[in-house]
Chain A
Amino acid sequence: MKKVLKPLIAVIVLALIPWLGVTYGKLDYVFAIIIPYAAGVILALGMLFRLVDWLRRPVPFNIPTTCGQEKSLDWVKTNTLECPSNPFMAALRVLSEVFLFRSLFRNTKAEMAGGPKLVYGSHKWLWLGGLAFHWSMLIIVIRHARFFLATLPVPIELLDTADRFLDVTVPAFYITDAVALAAITFLVLRRLSDAKMRILSLSTDYFPLFLFGAIAIVGISMRYVTKVNIMPVKALAMTLASFGFSEPEPIGALFYVHLFLVCVLLAYIPFSKLVHMGGIFLSPTRNLPNNSRAKWHKNPWNPDIKFRTYAEYEDEFREKMKKAGIPVEKQ
């Protein structure tokens, strides 16, 4: 239980910091300008550090995972997406992984079914929950462009319209708000409901979920329930987007809780499991084409070894071998 409660308390304390700071300390400028920029710098430098670190790692072998027929003779039917033979199909496979989580779609679950009988079965709930969570988060982040841009580009406006097409409640209800909350709830319960998952899960698995949950709850609350005057929020977002430093007009403390938790999230990304948002593109088992038979892969850090062939060996010892009666290839 400790590994669940610790991150929960951490998120609550993190949420209280800006609330206390703005309500009692009048630290609006710190939470509105300084901390967001600091978080942005940490995110950018942290990701850069990670990227350089990853790119410097050698990939000595061609190690794609293959789930289909490799390119072979002309009359053997090739599975080009599951076993890509060229970089284009490999890129397509990475993108399908990023957008559709195809590996997770193959997820199976092993369970003891009535006594000593191990049963394996297809298990798509994690895939569905993960997909719902990631997509709704992506749409929510894109939707926030309406705060940062003076005029909204048409695609984002269409996305926004599609998201609130149910046309219920005022302000209009966003479908992704509900989907995100439901998905986060599922992902937390998934870890808590199963004994195996409880053992496997660490506090660093719960912390991002609680953090996302808190951000979503505060954001939803500000939109539908507690309400915040949107004008200074928009002005602040435009200031941040244009790298300005002007002091914002007073905004409710709840807004700073939202903003601060987002800043914590941004700063947390490069140093946690959340860095998979960048790492997925560099995973060698996904992004390498499976052309190990068509193309010779030389380990880039192989030392330059002096090989000695048998012919050279025989040249050196031929006379001695003849004397000893050992057969030689060349007389």
Chain B
Amino acid sequence: MNKFSKFLVALAAGLAVFVAAWFFMQAGHYGSVSAHAENSPVAAAAPAPGGAPIDSSKCILPTEYMRAHHMQVLNKWRHDSVREGNRTYVNPQGEHFDKSLNTCLGCHGSNPMFCFMCHEFANVKPTCWDCHLSPMEVPQ
């Protein structure tokens, strides 16, 4: 066995470990979701004081901004509400919104294809529907 084949074997071994680690990470990921949710501190967190009225007549931010940045807004909302218990979003106009996917779907849920039209076209696969019910799955 020369140096090169030794290197190839090492590479293959490393790759095998890598793939195995990935597999177990993914398996653990899916297996532990419900277990985590039960004793998560967030489940016991109290809703934001005063409650956040849902203004469903217009979007939280301008359409142009939302088209490019909605995934970052949603990610921040998830982090704020799940990790820090802060569930109220105040936009630059001073309007209050509940940091929830339901705030979005309050308007955009009426078209079950609203999310999918663009995501399918742009070949983007968000992870929202790994946990949340998508508008496609909700009977209209």
Question: A residues near B, CB below 8 A?
Answer: 79, 81, 102, 105, 146-147, 149, 151-152, 165, 167, 169-171, 227-231, 234
Contact = CB atoms under 8 A, between A and B. Distances in A.
B4 interface: yes
B123 A229 contact: no
A79 B74 CA distance: 59
B72 A231 contact: no
A304 B48 CA distance: 96
Contact of B122 (A105, A169, A231): A231
Contacts of A227: 68-69, 72
B71 interface: yes
Contact of B72 (A149, A170, A228, A234): A170
Nearest to B11: A100
B67 interface: yes
A102 B64 CA distance: 50
Given A227-B69, A230-B124, 9 more contacts: A81-B4, A147-B123, A151-B123, A170-B71, A170-B72, A170-B75, A227-B68, A230-B68, A230-B122
Interface in B1-38: 2, 4, 7, 22
Interface bin, chain B: 10 to 19
Contacts of B124: 171, 230
Contacts of A79: 2
A171 B71 contact: yes
Contacts of B118: 230-231
Contact of A152 (B68, B74, B123, B127): B123
Contacts, number: 39
Tell me the dominant secondary structure on chain A's binding face.
loop
A21 B2 CA distance: 57
A234 B69 contact: no
Contacts of B122: 146-147, 230-231, 234
Nearest to B71: A170
Interface string B110-140: 0000000010011110010000000000000
Contacts of B71: 170-171
Nearest to B118: A231
A149 B123 CA distance: 9
A231 B67 contact: yes
Contacts of A147: 122-123
22 contacts: A79-B2, A81-B4, A105-B4, A146-B122, A147-B122, A152-B123, A170-B71, A170-B72, A170-B75, A171-B124, A228-B68, A229-B64, A229-B67, A230-B68, A230-B118, A230-B122, A231-B118, A231-B121, A231-B122, A234-B121, A234-B122, A234-B123
Report the 3 A-B pairs with minimum CB-CB distance, sorted nearest first. Answer: A170-B75, A146-B123, A227-B68
A230 B125 CA distance: 13
A138 B64 CA distance: 33
Contacts of B74: 170
A165 to B, nearest CB: 6
Contacts of A81: 4
Nearest to A230: B122
A171 B71 CA distance: 7
Contacts of A152: 123
Given A170-B72, A228-B68, A165 B123 contact: no
A201 to B, nearest CB: 29
Contact of B68 (A149, A151, A169, A229): A229
A102 B4 contact: yes
B103 to A, nearest CB: 17
B129 to A, nearest CB: 14
B101 to A, nearest CB: 14
Nearest to A227: B68
A229 B75 CA distance: 17
A177 B106 CA distance: 36
A3 B22 CA distance: 45
A280 to B, nearest CB: 19
A81 B22 CA distance: 34
Contacts of A231: 67, 118, 121-122
A13 B25 CA distance: 46
A228 B123 CA distance: 15
B2 to A, nearest CB: 8
Contacts of B22: 165
